[in-house]
A and B are shown apart, each in its own frame.
Chain A
Amino acid sequence: MSENLELENVSYKKNRQEILKNINLKIGKGKIVALLGENGAGKTTLMRIISGLAKNYHGIVKVNGEQDVVQRKANLSMTDALKGLLESYTIEQVKNFFLSLYSDFDIEEFEKLKDFMKLNDEMKLSQLSRGMKQKLEIALTLSRKTNLYLLDEPFSGIDVMARKRIINSILLWKDPDATIIISDHFVNEISSILDEIVIIKDKTIYRHLSADDVRAEGKSIDQYYEALYEDGGTE
Protein backbone atom coordinates (compact mmCIF):
# COMPACT_ATOMS: atom_id res chain seq x y z
CA MET A 1 0.00 0.00 0.00
CA SER A 2 1.69 3.18 -1.16
CA GLU A 3 -1.23 5.59 -1.05
CA ASN A 4 -2.06 7.69 1.98
CA LEU A 5 -5.33 8.76 0.41
CA GLU A 6 -7.74 7.03 -1.97
CA LEU A 7 -11.09 8.29 -3.15
CA GLU A 8 -13.25 6.19 -5.44
CA ASN A 9 -16.42 7.50 -7.15
CA VAL A 10 -17.14 9.97 -4.39
CA SER A 11 -20.21 12.19 -4.75
CA TYR A 12 -21.85 14.55 -2.33
CA LYS A 13 -25.05 16.56 -2.24
CA LYS A 14 -26.24 19.18 0.21
CA ASN A 15 -29.15 21.62 0.34
CA ARG A 16 -30.64 19.92 -2.72
CA GLN A 17 -27.52 20.73 -4.74
CA GLU A 18 -24.79 18.53 -6.12
CA ILE A 19 -21.51 19.74 -4.63
CA LEU A 20 -19.09 17.09 -5.89
CA LYS A 21 -19.45 14.22 -8.36
CA ASN A 22 -17.33 11.28 -9.54
CA ILE A 23 -14.28 12.17 -7.49
CA ASN A 24 -11.49 9.68 -8.08
CA LEU A 25 -8.15 10.47 -6.50
CA LYS A 26 -5.08 8.66 -5.25
CA ILE A 27 -2.28 10.43 -3.44
CA GLY A 28 0.88 8.62 -2.46
CA LYS A 29 2.91 8.77 0.70
CA GLY A 30 5.13 11.72 1.40
CA LYS A 31 3.53 14.09 -1.12
CA ILE A 32 2.75 17.76 -0.65
CA VAL A 33 -0.31 18.47 -2.74
CA ALA A 34 -2.10 21.71 -3.54
CA LEU A 35 -5.86 21.52 -3.82
CA LEU A 36 -6.89 24.35 -6.10
CA GLY A 37 -10.18 25.70 -7.33
CA GLU A 38 -12.37 28.77 -7.36
CA ASN A 39 -14.34 29.81 -4.29
CA GLY A 40 -17.23 27.38 -3.91
CA ALA A 41 -15.59 24.72 -6.12
CA GLY A 42 -15.77 22.12 -3.33
CA LYS A 43 -12.23 22.13 -1.87
CA THR A 44 -13.36 22.42 1.75
CA THR A 45 -16.16 19.93 1.14
CA LEU A 46 -13.65 17.43 -0.24
CA MET A 47 -11.50 17.85 2.86
CA ARG A 48 -14.57 17.42 5.07
CA ILE A 49 -15.44 14.18 3.25
CA ILE A 50 -11.90 12.84 3.66
CA SER A 51 -11.89 13.72 7.38
CA GLY A 52 -15.30 12.14 8.01
CA LEU A 53 -16.95 15.42 8.96
CA ALA A 54 -19.16 15.37 5.87
CA LYS A 55 -21.61 12.50 6.02
CA ASN A 56 -24.10 10.88 3.70
CA TYR A 57 -21.73 10.94 0.73
CA HIS A 58 -21.47 8.18 -1.88
CA GLY A 59 -18.29 6.37 -2.77
CA ILE A 60 -15.24 5.05 -0.98
CA VAL A 61 -12.73 7.05 1.03
CA LYS A 62 -9.59 5.48 2.46
CA VAL A 63 -6.87 7.07 4.54
CA ASN A 64 -3.78 4.93 4.95
CA GLY A 65 -5.82 2.00 3.63
CA GLU A 66 -8.53 2.44 6.26
CA GLN A 67 -12.13 3.05 5.26
CA ASP A 68 -13.63 3.14 8.75
CA VAL A 69 -14.31 6.75 9.68
CA VAL A 70 -12.83 6.48 13.20
CA GLN A 71 -9.61 4.99 11.80
CA ARG A 72 -9.49 7.73 9.20
CA LYS A 73 -9.81 10.41 11.87
CA ALA A 74 -7.04 8.75 13.84
CA ASN A 75 -4.80 8.81 10.75
CA LEU A 76 -5.29 12.43 9.78
CA SER A 77 -4.99 15.92 11.20
CA MET A 78 -7.04 18.83 9.89
CA THR A 79 -6.91 22.56 10.53
CA ASP A 80 -9.80 23.68 12.67
CA ALA A 81 -11.03 27.14 13.70
CA LEU A 82 -11.57 25.86 17.28
CA LYS A 83 -15.15 27.14 17.36
CA GLY A 84 -16.07 24.17 19.55
CA LEU A 85 -13.99 25.59 22.39
CA LEU A 86 -14.89 28.58 24.53
CA GLU A 87 -13.39 31.90 23.46
CA SER A 88 -12.21 32.32 27.05
CA TYR A 89 -9.90 29.33 26.65
CA THR A 90 -6.21 30.08 26.89
CA ILE A 91 -3.70 28.48 24.54
CA GLU A 92 -2.65 26.37 27.54
CA GLN A 93 -6.19 25.00 27.82
CA VAL A 94 -6.37 24.36 24.08
CA LYS A 95 -3.04 22.53 24.31
CA ASN A 96 -4.45 20.39 27.16
CA PHE A 97 -7.51 19.58 25.04
CA PHE A 98 -5.28 18.19 22.31
CA LEU A 99 -2.90 16.50 24.72
CA SER A 100 -5.75 14.77 26.58
CA LEU A 101 -7.72 13.64 23.55
CA TYR A 102 -5.18 12.96 20.80
CA SER A 103 -2.68 10.22 21.64
CA ASP A 104 -0.47 11.28 18.71
CA PHE A 105 -0.16 14.90 19.87
CA ASP A 106 3.53 15.73 20.28
CA ILE A 107 3.82 18.32 23.06
CA GLU A 108 7.48 19.10 22.34
CA GLU A 109 6.72 19.71 18.69
CA PHE A 110 3.84 21.97 19.68
CA GLU A 111 6.05 24.01 22.04
CA LYS A 112 8.59 24.50 19.24
CA LEU A 113 5.92 25.51 16.74
CA LYS A 114 4.23 27.75 19.30
CA ASP A 115 7.50 29.60 19.91
CA PHE A 116 8.12 29.75 16.15
CA MET A 117 4.68 31.33 15.70
CA LYS A 118 5.36 33.74 18.62
CA LEU A 119 2.39 32.63 20.69
CA ASN A 120 2.28 32.09 24.43
CA ASP A 121 0.20 29.94 26.78
CA GLU A 122 -1.54 32.80 28.59
CA MET A 123 -3.19 34.22 25.46
CA LYS A 124 -6.93 33.65 25.24
CA LEU A 125 -8.62 32.67 21.97
CA SER A 126 -10.73 35.85 22.18
CA GLN A 127 -7.56 37.95 22.30
CA LEU A 128 -5.98 36.42 19.20
CA SER A 129 -6.16 38.20 15.86
CA ARG A 130 -7.25 36.19 12.82
CA GLY A 131 -3.65 35.64 11.78
CA MET A 132 -2.56 34.54 15.26
CA LYS A 133 -5.47 32.11 15.43
CA GLN A 134 -4.45 30.60 12.11
CA LYS A 135 -0.89 30.24 13.35
CA LEU A 136 -2.23 28.42 16.39
CA GLU A 137 -4.35 26.16 14.15
CA ILE A 138 -1.31 25.31 12.05
CA ALA A 139 0.81 24.61 15.15
CA LEU A 140 -1.87 22.31 16.61
CA THR A 141 -2.48 20.50 13.31
CA LEU A 142 1.19 19.90 12.57
CA SER A 143 1.94 18.78 16.15
CA ARG A 144 -0.04 15.61 15.63
CA LYS A 145 2.03 12.76 14.26
CA THR A 146 -0.25 11.33 11.58
CA ASN A 147 -0.08 10.13 7.97
CA LEU A 148 -2.22 12.81 6.38
CA TYR A 149 -2.52 16.54 7.02
CA LEU A 150 -5.38 18.60 5.62
CA LEU A 151 -4.66 22.32 5.68
CA ASP A 152 -7.72 24.28 4.57
CA GLU A 153 -6.70 27.83 3.61
CA PRO A 154 -4.25 27.94 6.51
CA PHE A 155 -2.41 31.11 5.53
CA SER A 156 -5.14 33.55 4.51
CA GLY A 157 -4.90 35.75 7.63
CA ILE A 158 -1.14 35.48 8.14
CA ASP A 159 1.25 38.26 7.13
CA VAL A 160 3.46 37.66 4.11
CA MET A 161 6.79 37.27 5.98
CA ALA A 162 5.36 34.82 8.52
CA ARG A 163 3.69 32.93 5.66
CA LYS A 164 7.01 32.47 3.86
CA ARG A 165 8.71 31.29 7.07
CA ILE A 166 5.94 28.79 7.88
CA ILE A 167 5.76 27.43 4.32
CA ASN A 168 9.52 26.97 4.13
CA SER A 169 9.64 25.24 7.51
CA ILE A 170 6.97 22.66 6.52
CA LEU A 171 9.63 20.66 4.67
CA LEU A 172 11.90 20.66 7.74
CA TRP A 173 9.55 19.06 10.28
CA LYS A 174 7.45 16.97 7.90
CA ASP A 175 7.79 13.21 8.22
CA PRO A 176 9.04 11.75 4.91
CA ASP A 177 5.98 9.43 4.64
CA ALA A 178 3.39 11.98 5.69
CA THR A 179 1.15 13.52 3.02
CA ILE A 180 0.02 17.12 3.18
CA ILE A 181 -2.91 18.51 1.22
CA ILE A 182 -3.06 22.32 1.21
CA SER A 183 -6.01 24.24 -0.09
CA ASP A 184 -4.88 27.83 -0.52
CA HIS A 185 -5.25 30.84 -2.78
CA PHE A 186 -1.61 31.88 -2.42
CA VAL A 187 -0.56 29.43 -5.14
CA ASN A 188 2.64 31.28 -5.94
CA GLU A 189 3.91 31.14 -2.37
CA ILE A 190 3.35 27.41 -1.84
CA SER A 191 4.43 26.33 -5.32
CA SER A 192 8.07 25.80 -4.37
CA ILE A 193 7.23 22.98 -1.94
CA LEU A 194 4.58 21.23 -4.03
CA ASP A 195 4.87 17.72 -5.46
CA GLU A 196 1.41 17.54 -7.06
CA ILE A 197 -1.54 19.73 -7.82
CA VAL A 198 -5.21 18.79 -7.87
CA ILE A 199 -7.65 21.18 -9.48
CA ILE A 200 -11.37 21.02 -8.76
CA LYS A 201 -13.59 22.47 -11.45
CA ASP A 202 -17.18 21.72 -12.50
CA LYS A 203 -17.72 19.73 -9.28
CA THR A 204 -15.08 17.14 -10.08
CA ILE A 205 -11.31 16.61 -10.29
CA TYR A 206 -10.40 18.57 -13.40
CA ARG A 207 -6.68 17.93 -13.30
CA HIS A 208 -4.33 15.93 -11.11
CA LEU A 209 -0.73 16.25 -12.16
CA SER A 210 2.81 16.45 -10.92
CA ALA A 211 4.19 19.90 -10.16
CA ASP A 212 7.42 18.94 -11.94
CA ASP A 213 5.46 18.29 -15.16
CA VAL A 214 4.09 21.83 -15.00
CA ARG A 215 7.52 23.28 -14.30
CA ALA A 216 8.98 21.22 -17.19
CA GLU A 217 6.65 23.15 -19.54
CA GLY A 218 8.37 26.31 -18.44
CA LYS A 219 5.38 27.55 -16.51
CA SER A 220 4.90 28.35 -12.87
CA ILE A 221 2.06 26.59 -11.12
CA ASP A 222 -0.04 29.73 -10.72
CA GLN A 223 0.46 30.56 -14.41
CA TYR A 224 -0.77 27.07 -15.33
CA TYR A 225 -3.73 27.41 -12.94
CA GLU A 226 -4.70 30.87 -14.20
CA ALA A 227 -4.44 29.69 -17.81
CA LEU A 228 -7.04 27.02 -17.15
CA TYR A 229 -9.61 29.65 -16.28
CA GLU A 230 -8.60 32.19 -18.93
CA ASP A 231 -8.90 29.66 -21.75
CA GLY A 232 -12.15 28.23 -20.37
CA GLY A 233 -10.34 25.09 -19.34
CA THR A 234 -8.25 24.20 -22.35
CA GLU A 235 -4.50 23.70 -22.16
Chain B
Amino acid sequence: MLSTGEFFKYTFKLKNKSVNFLLLLQFIVAIIGACWLAIYNSKLTLLDKWSMGIVMVEITSIFAIIIYLFISTVSNEKINSSKTWQLLPISSKNFYLVNLFSSVLNAIYLVFMQVIMALIVLIPLTAFKEFRKGVGLTYSLILKRMDLILKDVLPISILIVVFMLLFLIALYLFVTTVNFVSTLLVEQLSKNNSKLARFLLIVVIVVITLIIGINMIDLAASINFFSSNTWLQWVRLDGVMIFIDLIFLFLNIWLLKNYHEGR
Protein backbone atom coordinates (compact mmCIF):
# COMPACT_ATOMS: atom_id res chain seq x y z
CA MET B 1 0.00 0.00 0.00
CA LEU B 2 1.15 3.50 -0.77
CA SER B 3 0.81 6.01 2.04
CA THR B 4 -0.77 9.38 1.24
CA GLY B 5 2.24 11.13 2.76
CA GLU B 6 4.74 9.32 0.55
CA PHE B 7 2.60 9.94 -2.53
CA PHE B 8 2.26 13.63 -1.68
CA LYS B 9 6.00 14.00 -1.08
CA TYR B 10 6.83 12.47 -4.48
CA THR B 11 4.16 14.37 -6.43
CA PHE B 12 4.96 17.72 -4.81
CA LYS B 13 8.69 17.33 -5.54
CA LEU B 14 7.98 16.29 -9.11
CA LYS B 15 5.80 19.33 -9.80
CA ASN B 16 8.16 21.60 -7.85
CA LYS B 17 10.90 20.95 -10.43
CA SER B 18 8.85 22.60 -13.17
CA VAL B 19 7.96 25.50 -10.85
CA ASN B 20 11.65 26.12 -10.11
CA PHE B 21 12.43 25.97 -13.81
CA LEU B 22 9.65 28.48 -14.48
CA LEU B 23 11.01 30.80 -11.76
CA LEU B 24 14.49 30.64 -13.27
CA LEU B 25 13.05 31.44 -16.69
CA GLN B 26 11.06 34.32 -15.21
CA PHE B 27 14.14 35.70 -13.48
CA ILE B 28 16.18 35.61 -16.69
CA VAL B 29 13.40 37.25 -18.71
CA ALA B 30 12.96 39.91 -16.00
CA ILE B 31 16.69 40.74 -16.01
CA ILE B 32 16.83 40.91 -19.81
CA GLY B 33 13.68 43.04 -19.89
CA ALA B 34 14.93 45.38 -17.17
CA CYS B 35 18.32 45.82 -18.89
CA TRP B 36 16.61 46.52 -22.20
CA LEU B 37 14.30 49.11 -20.61
CA ALA B 38 17.21 50.76 -18.77
CA ILE B 39 19.32 50.98 -21.93
CA TYR B 40 16.38 52.14 -24.04
CA ASN B 41 15.50 54.95 -21.60
CA SER B 42 19.00 56.42 -21.22
CA LYS B 43 17.75 59.71 -19.73
CA LEU B 44 16.35 58.03 -16.62
CA THR B 45 18.09 58.23 -13.24
CA LEU B 46 19.88 55.20 -11.84
CA LEU B 47 17.07 54.76 -9.31
CA ASP B 48 14.45 54.74 -12.07
CA LYS B 49 16.47 52.30 -14.14
CA TRP B 50 16.82 49.91 -11.22
CA SER B 51 13.12 50.23 -10.52
CA MET B 52 12.53 48.77 -13.99
CA GLY B 53 13.67 45.51 -12.41
CA ILE B 54 10.71 45.57 -10.02
CA VAL B 55 8.38 46.40 -12.89
CA MET B 56 9.70 43.48 -14.94
CA VAL B 57 9.34 41.09 -11.98
CA GLU B 58 5.72 42.19 -11.56
CA ILE B 59 4.89 41.87 -15.26
CA THR B 60 6.63 38.50 -15.67
CA SER B 61 4.97 37.21 -12.48
CA ILE B 62 1.54 37.47 -14.10
CA PHE B 63 2.72 35.55 -17.15
CA ALA B 64 4.51 32.96 -15.01
CA ILE B 65 1.35 32.34 -12.98
CA ILE B 66 -0.75 31.93 -16.13
CA ILE B 67 1.81 29.56 -17.66
CA TYR B 68 1.97 27.58 -14.42
CA LEU B 69 -1.81 27.28 -14.27
CA PHE B 70 -1.87 25.94 -17.81
CA ILE B 71 1.02 23.49 -17.28
CA SER B 72 -0.30 22.26 -13.94
CA THR B 73 -3.88 21.67 -15.13
CA VAL B 74 -2.60 19.68 -18.12
CA SER B 75 -0.23 17.73 -15.85
CA ASN B 76 -3.01 17.06 -13.31
CA GLU B 77 -5.33 15.64 -15.96
CA LYS B 78 -2.54 13.54 -17.43
CA ILE B 79 -2.00 12.01 -13.98
CA ASN B 80 -5.75 11.60 -13.34
CA SER B 81 -6.24 9.80 -16.66
CA SER B 82 -3.09 7.71 -16.74
CA LYS B 83 -2.83 3.94 -16.29
CA THR B 84 0.69 4.36 -14.88
CA TRP B 85 -0.58 6.50 -12.03
CA GLN B 86 -3.95 4.77 -11.51
CA LEU B 87 -2.17 1.45 -10.94
CA LEU B 88 -0.68 2.87 -7.74
CA PRO B 89 -2.11 1.15 -4.63
CA ILE B 90 -3.86 4.17 -3.15
CA SER B 91 -7.55 5.02 -2.86
CA SER B 92 -9.15 7.20 -5.56
CA LYS B 93 -10.02 9.82 -2.95
CA ASN B 94 -6.44 10.20 -1.66
CA PHE B 95 -5.03 9.95 -5.18
CA TYR B 96 -7.18 12.83 -6.36
CA LEU B 97 -6.65 15.00 -3.27
CA VAL B 98 -2.87 14.59 -3.46
CA ASN B 99 -2.79 15.38 -7.17
CA LEU B 100 -4.94 18.48 -6.63
CA PHE B 101 -3.26 19.90 -3.52
CA SER B 102 0.30 19.25 -4.67
CA SER B 103 -0.48 21.61 -7.57
CA VAL B 104 -2.19 24.16 -5.30
CA LEU B 105 0.74 24.17 -2.88
CA ASN B 106 3.19 24.57 -5.72
CA ALA B 107 1.15 27.56 -6.93
CA ILE B 108 1.46 29.12 -3.45
CA TYR B 109 5.19 28.33 -3.54
CA LEU B 110 5.46 30.05 -6.94
CA VAL B 111 3.80 33.25 -5.68
CA PHE B 112 5.89 33.19 -2.49
CA MET B 113 9.12 32.87 -4.49
CA GLN B 114 8.05 35.71 -6.78
CA VAL B 115 7.61 37.95 -3.72
CA ILE B 116 11.12 36.91 -2.56
CA MET B 117 12.41 37.68 -6.06
CA ALA B 118 10.87 41.16 -5.92
CA LEU B 119 12.36 41.79 -2.46
CA ILE B 120 15.81 40.69 -3.66
CA VAL B 121 15.56 43.11 -6.57
CA LEU B 122 14.52 45.83 -4.08
CA ILE B 123 17.61 45.40 -1.88
CA PRO B 124 20.02 47.48 -4.05
CA LEU B 125 17.44 50.28 -4.08
CA THR B 126 18.06 50.79 -0.34
CA ALA B 127 21.34 52.43 -1.36
CA PHE B 128 19.32 55.36 -2.73
CA LYS B 129 18.31 58.08 -0.26
CA GLU B 130 15.02 58.80 -2.05
CA PHE B 131 14.00 55.15 -1.77
CA ARG B 132 14.86 54.96 1.94
CA LYS B 133 12.91 58.20 2.51
CA GLY B 134 9.89 56.77 0.71
CA VAL B 135 10.03 53.55 2.72
CA GLY B 136 10.34 55.53 5.95
CA LEU B 137 7.28 57.66 5.08
CA THR B 138 5.22 54.59 4.21
CA TYR B 139 6.27 52.86 7.44
CA SER B 140 5.28 55.83 9.61
CA LEU B 141 1.92 56.08 7.81
CA ILE B 142 1.28 52.40 8.52
CA LEU B 143 2.17 52.87 12.20
CA LYS B 144 -0.23 55.83 12.49
CA ARG B 145 -3.07 53.80 11.00
CA MET B 146 -2.26 50.49 12.69
CA ASP B 147 -5.64 50.31 14.45
CA LEU B 148 -7.55 50.71 11.19
CA ILE B 149 -5.25 48.23 9.46
CA LEU B 150 -5.69 45.56 12.12
CA LYS B 151 -9.45 46.14 12.42
CA ASP B 152 -10.46 46.45 8.76
CA VAL B 153 -7.69 46.11 6.19
CA LEU B 154 -6.03 42.94 7.51
CA PRO B 155 -9.19 40.80 7.95
CA ILE B 156 -10.51 41.82 4.52
CA SER B 157 -7.10 41.12 2.96
CA ILE B 158 -7.11 37.67 4.53
CA LEU B 159 -10.62 37.02 3.17
CA ILE B 160 -9.53 38.16 -0.29
CA VAL B 161 -6.48 35.87 -0.21
CA VAL B 162 -8.71 32.97 0.92
CA PHE B 163 -11.10 33.75 -1.96
CA MET B 164 -8.25 33.71 -4.47
CA LEU B 165 -7.06 30.37 -3.11
CA LEU B 166 -10.56 28.89 -3.28
CA PHE B 167 -10.93 30.26 -6.81
CA LEU B 168 -7.65 28.61 -7.80
CA ILE B 169 -8.88 25.30 -6.38
CA ALA B 170 -12.17 25.79 -8.25
CA LEU B 171 -10.27 26.21 -11.52
CA TYR B 172 -8.44 22.91 -11.07
CA LEU B 173 -11.64 21.17 -9.99
CA PHE B 174 -13.58 22.53 -12.95
CA VAL B 175 -11.00 21.36 -15.51
CA THR B 176 -11.10 17.88 -13.95
CA THR B 177 -14.90 17.82 -14.00
CA VAL B 178 -14.95 18.76 -17.67
CA ASN B 179 -12.39 16.03 -18.41
CA PHE B 180 -14.20 13.33 -16.43
CA VAL B 181 -17.74 14.21 -17.51
CA SER B 182 -16.91 14.54 -21.21
CA THR B 183 -15.09 11.18 -21.15
CA LEU B 184 -17.97 9.51 -19.32
CA LEU B 185 -20.59 10.88 -21.71
CA VAL B 186 -18.63 9.78 -24.79
CA GLU B 187 -18.24 6.29 -23.34
CA GLN B 188 -21.88 5.99 -22.37
CA LEU B 189 -23.46 7.55 -25.42
CA SER B 190 -21.29 6.59 -28.38
CA LYS B 191 -20.02 3.31 -29.78
CA ASN B 192 -16.49 4.64 -30.30
CA ASN B 193 -14.38 7.18 -28.43
CA SER B 194 -14.66 9.95 -30.97
CA LYS B 195 -12.28 12.85 -30.28
CA LEU B 196 -14.57 15.23 -32.14
CA ALA B 197 -17.56 14.19 -30.04
CA ARG B 198 -15.53 14.70 -26.88
CA PHE B 199 -14.31 18.13 -28.01
CA LEU B 200 -17.89 19.22 -28.76
CA LEU B 201 -19.03 17.93 -25.37
CA ILE B 202 -16.27 19.92 -23.66
CA VAL B 203 -17.38 23.09 -25.44
CA VAL B 204 -21.02 22.45 -24.47
CA ILE B 205 -20.13 21.78 -20.80
CA VAL B 206 -18.00 24.93 -20.57
CA VAL B 207 -20.69 27.09 -22.21
CA ILE B 208 -23.44 25.67 -19.97
CA THR B 209 -21.30 26.30 -16.87
CA LEU B 210 -20.61 29.89 -17.95
CA ILE B 211 -24.32 30.53 -18.55
CA ILE B 212 -25.23 29.04 -15.15
CA GLY B 213 -22.45 31.07 -13.51
CA ILE B 214 -23.59 34.35 -15.05
CA ASN B 215 -27.22 33.67 -14.09
CA MET B 216 -26.19 32.84 -10.53
CA ILE B 217 -24.30 36.14 -10.26
CA ASP B 218 -27.35 38.03 -11.58
CA LEU B 219 -29.57 36.21 -9.09
CA ALA B 220 -27.18 37.02 -6.27
CA ALA B 221 -27.15 40.70 -7.25
CA SER B 222 -30.95 40.80 -7.39
CA ILE B 223 -31.28 39.50 -3.81
CA ASN B 224 -28.64 41.95 -2.54
CA PHE B 225 -26.17 39.16 -1.88
CA PHE B 226 -23.30 41.57 -2.57
CA SER B 227 -23.45 43.65 0.59
CA SER B 228 -22.22 47.20 0.93
CA ASN B 229 -20.39 45.92 4.02
CA THR B 230 -17.08 44.84 2.45
CA TRP B 231 -16.20 42.38 5.20
CA LEU B 232 -19.59 40.63 5.01
CA GLN B 233 -19.43 40.54 1.21
CA TRP B 234 -16.11 38.70 1.24
CA VAL B 235 -17.29 36.30 3.93
CA ARG B 236 -20.30 35.44 1.77
CA LEU B 237 -18.16 35.07 -1.34
CA ASP B 238 -15.76 32.78 0.50
CA GLY B 239 -18.72 30.75 1.73
CA VAL B 240 -20.07 30.37 -1.79
CA MET B 241 -16.64 29.37 -3.14
CA ILE B 242 -16.23 26.75 -0.41
CA PHE B 243 -19.65 25.34 -1.31
CA ILE B 244 -18.83 25.24 -5.04
CA ASP B 245 -15.42 23.68 -4.39
CA LEU B 246 -16.90 20.97 -2.19
CA ILE B 247 -19.55 20.05 -4.78
CA PHE B 248 -17.00 19.73 -7.59
CA LEU B 249 -14.55 17.93 -5.28
CA PHE B 250 -17.05 15.24 -4.24
CA LEU B 251 -18.25 14.88 -7.83
CA ASN B 252 -14.72 14.41 -9.15
CA ILE B 253 -13.77 11.88 -6.47
CA TRP B 254 -16.98 9.91 -7.16
CA LEU B 255 -16.36 9.96 -10.92
CA LEU B 256 -12.73 8.89 -10.50
CA LYS B 257 -13.69 6.03 -8.18
CA ASN B 258 -16.57 4.72 -10.27
CA TYR B 259 -16.05 5.68 -13.89
CA HIS B 260 -12.89 7.42 -14.99
CA GLU B 261 -10.41 4.79 -16.16
CA GLY B 262 -6.68 5.16 -16.67
CA ARG B 263 -5.30 4.59 -20.19
Contacts and interface: CB of A to CB of B under 8 A. Distances in A.
Nearest to A74: B89
Contact of A73 (B6, B87, B188): B87
Contacts of A81: 83-84
A15 interface: yes
A138 B79 CA distance: 22
A85 interface: yes
Main secondary structure of the interface of A (DSSP, over half): loop
Contacts, number: 72
B2 A84 contact: no
A20 to B, nearest CB: 15
Nearest to B188: A16
Contacts of A53: 83, 86-87, 261-262
A154 to B, nearest CB: 15
B7 interface: yes
A55 B180 CA distance: 13
A53 B263 CA distance: 8
Nearest to A146: B89
Contact of B258 (A56, A84, A97): A56
B87 A78 contact: yes
A98 B188 CA distance: 34
B134 to A, nearest CB: 47
B151 interface: no
B141 interface: no
A26 interface: no
Name the interface size band of chain A: 20 to 34
Contacts of B261: 48, 53-55
Contacts of A73: 87-90
A29 B262 CA distance: 28
A192 B208 CA distance: 59
B82 A17 contact: no
B1 A100 contact: no
Interface stretch (B25-33, B105-113, B190-198): B190-198
Interface in A38-88: 48, 51-56, 70-71, 73-74, 78, 80-85
Contacts of B89: 70-71, 73-74, 102
Contacts of A51: 87
Interface in B81-104: 82-91
A193 B83 CA distance: 28
A103 B84 contact: no
A184 B63 CA distance: 50
B86 A17 contact: no
A164 interface: no
B87 A80 contact: yes
A71 B2 CA distance: 10
Interface string B5-46: 011001000000000000000000000000000000000000
A85 B87 CA distance: 13
Contacts of B85: 84
B10 to A, nearest CB: 5
A64 to B, nearest CB: 13
Interface of B: 1-2, 6-7, 10, 78-79, 82-91, 187-193, 257-263
Given A54-B261, A55-B258, 17 more contacts: A14-B187, A15-B190, A15-B193, A16-B188, A53-B261, A53-B262, A70-B89, A70-B90, A70-B91, A71-B1, A73-B88, A73-B90, A83-B83, A84-B84, A97-B10, A100-B10, A101-B2
24 contacts: A15-B187, A16-B190, A48-B261, A53-B83, A53-B86, A53-B87, A53-B262, A55-B257, A56-B258, A56-B259, A70-B1, A70-B89, A73-B88, A73-B89, A74-B2, A80-B84, A80-B87, A84-B82, A84-B83, A84-B262, A85-B84, A97-B10, A101-B10, A103-B1
Chain A to chain B: the 7 pairs with minimum beta-carbon distance, closest first? A84-B84, A84-B82, A74-B89, A73-B89, A100-B10, A84-B85, A74-B1
